[in-house]
A and B are shown apart, each in its own frame.
Chain A
Amino acid sequence: MTNKNKSIAILNSTAPFSSADGKDALDIALIFGSYEQDTSLFFQGDGVWQLINTQTPNDISMKDYLKTFAALEFYDIEHVYVCAASLAQRALPNDFHIENVTILSANEFSNELRLRQIILRF
């Protein structure tokens, strides 16, 4: 069987702790990364909350899966994009809990997304 390696975008569009979407998306990203697939993370809408620094999910009895984002570089997931308009709409600062986050305008964001062959949205 031929191997059709593809570039994958994991598009995060929901806030971190009210559903398991963010964790489920991260699990997929790490698996694709560990199989050495070309994997990128995108954050848009309420998904941008997942990048915001200094959150204390233990206060609401949730596991802090955001800590695991620090492992992304070990899985060679180097491209993390966040939508500037989504941040601005929520009056959020560019204070993220991981480094190497690229802030893109809505147009740049969609152009970058369009380059990927698979988009999985959570």
Chain B
Amino acid sequence: MQSLAVMVTTPPHSNLTATAIDYIEYALKKGIEVVGVFFYQDGVLNASSHLSLPNDEYQTIKQWQRLNKGYNLPLYLCVTAAEKRGLTDEISDEIDDQIGNNKQTNINDAFILSGLGELVELSNKADRVVQL
């Protein structure tokens, strides 16, 4: 079976991201194993749980969630790129810290925080790497 890794660098409101989603889904439907999607640069914004796109526009986040659940597709975020753009799983204030509250996150739970090392791993698992 052929395998594919994909790097996404475009934000959720870009039609290039819709192209990436279509591309990945066609590959999956063709029986190609997609070992993972790595989100880099503005691509990490796809993982924001605060995202609210107008109802009559393409719902990028729902598509990622659908691919993640439907095909068991792993979605990895570059932590450095994410933190630069305000995405973190370590949100707390002083009171939270004092009373020992769990840290909050603003990252959608379909996505996994990881580092660039994950991109190296993915590229070694896949026959082909495509950047979109």
Q: A: which residues have CB within 8 A of B?
A: 1, 3-6, 8, 20-21, 24, 27-28, 31-32, 35, 37, 118-121
Q: B: which residues have CB within 8 A of A?
A: 7, 40-41, 80-81, 115-117, 119-120, 123-127, 129, 131
Closest to B84 in A: A20
Closest to B120 in A: A35
Main secondary structure of the interface of A (DSSP, over half): mixed
Q: Are A31 and B120 in contact (CB under 8 A)?
A: yes
In whole angstroms, how far apart are the Cα atoms of A1 and B126 in the complex? 10
Main secondary structure of the interface of B (DSSP, over half): helix
Given A8-B123, A118-B129, 10 more A-B residue pairs with CB atoms under 8 Å apart are A1-B125, A3-B124, A5-B124, A27-B116, A28-B116, A32-B120, A35-B117, A118-B123, A119-B131, A120-B129
Closest to B121 in A: A35
A38 to chain B, nearest CB (A): 11
